[in-house]
Amino acid sequence: MIRLLSLLRHLASPLRVALVLGLGALPGSAQWITQTNQLKAGWNAVSLFVDASHAPISDVMPSDGSVEEVWLWKPSSTQQFIDSPQVPTGTGSQWSKWTFNLGPSSELQRLIPNASYYVKVKDSATTYNWLLKGKPVAPQYAWTSSGLNFIGFPVPDGNMGYERFFQPVPSLLETAEIYRSPGGDFGTGNPARVFDTARTVFTRGEAVWMRVAAGYNRYFGPFEVSLSGNRSIQFGKSGTQASFRIRNQSKSTNVITLTMLPSEAAPSGQTAVVGLPPLILRGPLEPSTLKYTAIPLSPPVGTNEGYGFTWTLPPQGRPGSDVQVVLGLARDSMPGQAGDLSACVLRLTDAAGLLQVDLGVGAVKAANSGLWVGEARVTQVVQYLKNYERDPVGNPVVRLTEDEGAYSVMVTNEVVGGVSRPFPMRLILHNDGTNTVLLQRVFLGLNPQTNAIVTTQQRFLDPTQLASARRISAAHLPWSAQNTPWPITITSNVYRVEIATPYDSSSVNPFIHQYHPDHDNLNASFTQVLPKGRESYSIQRTVWLSPQAAGFDYQSRTTGSLDLNGVYDEKIEVGGSGANTRTFRVLGTFTLNRISDLPTLTR
């Protein structure tokens, strides 16, 4: 073991390079769900909780003309006073319309979420289910206290009574002024004020005109989901963590359940969904490790059933009634190939069945191309302990060969032993999207055209910008002026590379001391090169890198999934005269971080 570590110290020297790796979430394609709107002939008020703006209205509407017109209510200001329910009119600036006959010439061309519409169904259709596929988003309300608001409530599918929905806040319903549009022509019964709240029902996606006596209203269901920025969760190509908040809006204890559901198939022309993203919830802090536990949020293997997780929230205003949900993505477990989209729907419901909030989640699998830099740490060596044959009195037995003798070895015990201190060795890998290579050194900087490059030679960098350039080296690998990379083969996700150091390579072979007569590979008169095994030996190194799943805690499963971590295994064959060799083997761990996503290695 001492000899092996001494050899490794010849092959390697400490090298510390400060690397800063910045990660950010990029926009990604979305997931899909169909909102069913139960309509009748005539004018219906609809509130959308899906984003269908991926295509013009004419492309997402039924082609048979069942829906004749769509009018979007767009008040110029949320503080604008509206004294009575409005009906679509071409002369009012608060409406934008689409008609089946005008199609692409209509003013309204995209259906946006968290907006309310009037939808005209042809008179021949007594009942009609308008199916609209889009990207699910969390509800968002802009309430004006100076007049009526045109809004909808994301209740579960089926009929919901007004009295039941407002049961957590009965005083609000007593003073609320609500107008419905149940279909038919505009007139006395459309819109119509709701007086019998005990027996009047509504459905998911139905919009109403509403105001309350107190003016401002904060209640839109028994709980509230709050996201910063977007109304859905998009991890893009590099994001690993996201969060949102759940707030109890009722005066009693509320149990909220989160269920992960598969995305529907993408509409024509949109990115296909290849599977579910491997999502993880951040669990409680583990006192023994001071790390957050990871809770997988995936359906059982081979099923499409959702996996549920629940929170019990105390009444509104009490400690614990507002919780932060921290969501993570295990990128090392994403399905498909680079560029493929994984998507799902996170559905949040309350125990009373009053509200259903759907959140879209999307993530794009990133390519492994780019420059990866890290370190191997040798922690174990194979000691090759030999048991020698002995005669009856205990002396070693010598076996004679043609011209010499040697002690007879009964068995070689390849015992794996630990080292007193881990031995570090720098690793530099580059992947161009197809092939992976190992490098002795690499340069990062700008070329004369001010483009960022990764290169094997400093001469490709802009000489005036060298102060901002970086060189990273692996001192344990043999140096060459050409800096030719070593190709890596990948079989069953195991990286394998061979590094050969010739016995007569005076610049890199650790056994050669150029000016020492016993180690210069020359005879006594310096006139002839000696054969291998006399004063110097060849070195053949074979390295295996076996990536392993990240740790089981939340941080390792999320941000740690962006790195490559695993088992380092190296075999060192020292070649002597003829076919004589001595083999060493070392084991340890490795970690690689991608510091550049440039797929081109300039050579």
Residue % of the chain over a pLDDT of 90? 67
Report d(CA 154, CA 169) in Å as an integer: 17
In this prediction, residues 511-527 reach a mean pLDDT of 84
Rounded Cα distance between 131 and 568, Å, is 54
Residue 76's pLDDT is 64
Please identify which residue in the block is written with the tokens 């340890």.
Answer: 588
Query: What SS3 state is found at 481?
Result: coil
Give yes or no for residue 84 having a pLDDT over 90. Answer: no
Confidence of residue 302 (pLDDT cuts 50, 70, 90): low
- Flag whether pLDDT at 279 surpasses 80: yes
**Which pLDDT score is estimated for 185?**
92
| pLDDT band of 304, cuts 50, 70, 90 | low
User: Per residue in 554-589, pLDDT tens?
Assistant: 999 998 888 999 999 999 999 998 888 889 999 999
Sheet containing strand 279-286, strands side by side: 223-226, 241-248, 322-329, 279-286, 291-297
DSSP class of residue 61? Answer: S
pLDDT band (50, 70, 90) for residue 463? very high
Among 75, 38, 44, which Cα is nearest to 186's? Answer: 44
Element (H, E) at 547: strand 538-547
Q: Concatenate the DSSP letters of all residues of 515-538 into one string.
A: T-TTSSSB-TTS-SBPPTTSS--E
pLDDT tens digits, 421-436: 999 999 999 999 999 9
Residue 191 preceded by cis peptide, ω within 30:
yes
- 349 contacts: CB under 8 Å, gap ≥ 6: 156, 256, 257, 259, 355, 356, 357
Top-ranked range on mean pLDDT: pick from 97-111, 136-150, 225-239: 97-111
Mean pLDDT confidence for 66-75: 90
Rounded to the nearest 10°, the torsion over CA 259, 264, 267, 270 is 60
Per the prediction, the chain carries an average pLDDT of: 88
Specify the pTM: 0.80
What are the pLDDT digits (tens) for 149-184? 999 999 999 999 999 999 999 888 888 999 999 899
Section 499-513 average pLDDT? 90
Domain ranges for the chain, please list them: 2-23+369-383+415-441+477-602, 33-212, 223-364
Strand locations in 113-216, DSSP E? 115-121, 127-136, 149-152, 160-161, 176-180, 192-193, 201-202, 207-212
Q: What is the Rg, in whole angstroms, of the alpha carbon atoms belonging to the chain?
A: 35
Q: Is the pLDDT of residue 3 over 60?
A: no
Residue 11 has a pLDDT of 42
For the record, the structure tokens of 495 come out as 């990286």
The H-or-E segment that residue 173 falls in is: helix 170-175
Q: Mention every residue, 6+ apart, whose C-beta is less than 8 A from residue 206.
A: 37, 38, 44, 45, 46, 47, 152, 180
Mean pLDDT to the nearest integer, 495-510:
92
pLDDT of residue 139: 92
Q: Comparing C-alpha atoms, which of 372, 440, 426, 430 is closest to residue 601?
A: 430
In this predicted structure, the answer to whether residue 114 has a pLDDT above a threshold of 90 is: yes
- pLDDT given for residue 408 in this prediction: 86
Is residue 491 predicted with pLDDT exceeding 60? yes
Q: Which band of pLDDT confidence, cut at 50, 70 and 90, is reported for residue 483?
A: very high
Of 328-342, 480-494, 519-533, the range with the lowest mean pLDDT is 519-533
- Which residues are within 8 A (CB) of 401 and not within 5 positions of it... i.e. 6 or more apart? none
Asked if the model's pLDDT at residue 28 lies above 80, the reply is no
pLDDT at 550 over 80: no
Per-residue pLDDT for 223 more than 70?
yes
AA identity, residue 483: N
CB-based contacts of 545: which residues, under 8 Å, 6+ apart? 427, 494, 495, 496, 564, 566, 567, 568, 569, 590
Smallest CA-to-CA distance from 495 within 543, 433, 442 is with 543
What is the mean pLDDT of the segment spanning 383-398? 86
CATH class of the domain whose range is 223-364: mainly beta
What is the Cα–Cα distance from 396 to 238, expressed in whole angstroms?
A: 63
Closest CA to 1 of 406, 574, 585: 585
* Predicted pLDDT at 343: 95
pLDDT at 9: 45
Q: What percent of the chain has pLDDT over 70?
A: 91
Q: Quick one: which H or E segment has residue 254?
A: strand 254-262
